[in-house]
Amino acid sequence: MSDVSYDPESHYDRVTDAWGLLLGDELHYGVFATGDESLPEATAALTEAMVQGCAIEPGVRVLDVGCGTGAPACHLASLGATVLGITNSAVGVDAATARAEANGFADQLSFEIRDGMDNGLPDASFDRVWVLESSHLMRKRDALIAECARVLRPRGRMALCDVITHRVMPFEEVRKRRHELSLLREVFGDAHMMPIDAYTGFAEAQGLVIEQATDLTAATRPTFERWRANAQEHRDVVIAKLGHDDWQRFIDACNVLEGLWDEGSFGYGLIAASKP
């Protein structure tokens, strides 16, 4: 696949349609209480964990950083919030806008192309900031958190969840596993993970108070089995959209991630922080 682009915008634009079939409508990991839940049930559980962490309530104004195709924003609107979703992807903006209109939330939701690390929005202009599984594509995580803190009003709250690392992988190991890591890059984009402590450290450096830091590694692990099942169920359609090689790479990448979960290298975390 010689023409793959690794910047978030082009990668996202290329895979969005197929990912709705592979990852599910919400385009993110699931939280499984028993392991028997369906993927939609588990992704809804993760969304609900974010809702609780972010203390969403009617009337709050939310900045959704990395809004995807607008499924979480629509859920927030159903809870009475107004939301501005930002993304680097024009495809994402169009899909999210269409979703908002189709679900009757056009008056509560808007979507714009903006950079989460330098969003250009006014200081203290949001009650909540929501960062669901988008931070791993942003190189300057400290700048992302600084922007989240800057746009929060006093007594506002931020919630963030994403893939995390549990250990530093030595250079020699990185070299030996370069094919696995390259595969993850091809499939999921130019992602850079870090420990949950790094996120809490960046938040505290901006004067935020950590309210929650939860490791969801075990609870998210069944996600990979569900993604592989989706790949098999929607095989022909995904191959028509992405090609056979990319369909197979997706399955192989799920296997790699599952192994990284099991060996204790990668995992998943959620943090919530408030602004005094």
Position 17 scores a pLDDT of: 79
Position 232 scores a pLDDT of: 98
Position 50 scores a pLDDT of: 98
* Average model confidence (pLDDT) across the chain: 94
Its pTM stands at 0.93
Q: Are strands 152-165 and 126-132 parallel, antiparallel or unpaired?
A: parallel
- Domain contains 126: yes
Number of CB atoms found within 10 A of residue 40's CB: 13
Interval 89-112: pLDDT, tens: 898 899 999 999 999 999 999 999
Helical axes 235-242 vs 244-262, angle rounded to 10°? 110
Position 156 scores a pLDDT of: 98
- Domain contains 230: yes
- Domain contains 2: no
Position 179 scores a pLDDT of: 96
- Domain contains 96: yes
CATH number at residue 192: 3.40.50.150
- Domain contains 3: no
The whole domain housing 262 covers: 8-274
Interval 132-169: pLDDT, tens: 999 999 999 999 999 999 999 999 999 999 999 999 99
Interval 167-213: pLDDT, tens: 999 999 999 999 999 999 999 988 889 999 999 999 999 999 999 99
Dihedral (CA of 90, 106, 57, 275) sign: positive
- Domain contains 21: yes
How many structural domains compose the chain? Answer: 1
Interval 44-54: pLDDT, tens: 999 999 999 99
Conformation bin of residue 15: beta by default, left when phi > 0, alpha when psi is -120 to 50: alpha
